[in-house]
Structure 1
Amino acid sequence: MDITARELKVLNEKDLSIFCDNTKKERKKVFLFYILWAIGKKFGIHNFYLNRPKVAIAQLSITIVNLILENILKHNNIAVERMVDMAMSNQITIENLKNCFFGFFNLNSILGLIVLAWVTVDLFLAKNIIDNINEDSENSIYNSLNKE
């Protein structure tokens, strides 16, 4: 619920000044959100900015697991080595190829797609989330001043 001009008239001049100063300080900026999203979207930096630490930590955790799996795949070439071993022993079948790649490759791809979908949704919902955060902040500041 937005605070109306009528509600602000209830505040005295000092409280109104405090209200304006505090809402300016507390206000989350859409532009800054988009910059943080562009810089560190996979790591959840934009969610830390929005004071959503649980969401940010979840995104960060999935990204770290994804990067670890990617690192294992790139540097150790586990799947490729298994394929070479199967080729040498003439055991290459479609089922063996599926088993070879399913473990790391598909989990890595699935985690990457989850993070991609998540940050894309964040991008489109950002304006509404920021508006709600700013409105809640204004209401709490107003209520704290109104109680005094």
Structure 2
Amino acid sequence: MNNQSSVEILTEWDIVAARQLGRNVAKELGFGTVDQARITTAISELARNIYLYAGQGKIEIQRVTEKGLNGIMIVATDTGPGIPDIRKVMEDGFSTSGGLGAGLPGVKRLMDDFKIETILGEGTDIRATKWLR
């Protein structure tokens, strides 16, 4: 069982590929259908953000083990413009694209752990983990 897989996000089709990869890994790890849906929704949001705002980046799906728990970590990285105001993008209902997506607050709610690091002009690194109960 490989420990990590990734999808380069360059086109809208890559968003679909990243979702599929995440769903497969979540299923292999033993996540139920509801959590699989949460994980794929989170991947969708993160991949779409890369596509819309950074132009290109990568979604990595990692199997993680911590304190006896198994989980899945989604790592979304890009070398885009960065996020000028993290507090603002973490507000519910904030959208720069006019989209109806759950956005980053939605990703944070869907997952158990959520961490975001961004440097203006250099890019963004978001890590979201879901633990197997």
TM-score normalised over the length of structure 1? 0.29
More helix by share: 1
More strand by share: 2
Task: State the structure with more CA Rg.
Answer: 1
TM-score normalised over the length of structure 2? 0.32
Relative contact order: is structure 1 or structure 2 higher (C-alpha 8 Å, sep ≥ 6)? 1
